[in-house]
Amino acid sequence: MEKKISDVILSDGIYDKKLIVNRGMESYFKQIVDFGFFHADPHPSNIYILKDNIVCYIDFGMMGALDDEFKENLTELFI
C-alpha cells in the first residue's frame, strides 16, 4: 500500500507519523550534507509512504547539487 504523504498526515491509524517524520528528515539531511545531491522538488505529490513507514521520493526531474565548500558551510550553520 502506498499513499501520498499528505494523505498519511491526515489519516488515523496504521502509519507511525513520528517515525515517518524522523526518516524523512534524516534522508533529506543525508542527501544534502552527506551526498551534496538532493531532490529539489519535495512537495506532497512527490513523496509517498510505503508499507512499514518507508519514505519514497518520486519525480527526480529537479535535483540540486552542492559542492564540498558549500556543504561544510551549511553544516557549520546547522551546528
Active site residues: 41
Q: Encode pLDDT of 5-41 as tens digits.
A: 988 988 887 899 999 999 999 999 999 989 999 999 9
| Confidence (pTM) | 0.82
**Pairing, β 37-39 against β 63-65:** antiparallel
What is the reported pLDDT for 58? 95
Range of the domain at 32: 3-78
The tally of domains found in the chain comes to 1
Q: What is the CATH number of the domain that holds 23?
A: 1.10.510.10
Q: Does residue 1 surpass a pLDDT of 80?
A: no
Q: Where are the alpha helices (DSSP H) in the chain?
A: 5-10, 17-29, 68-78
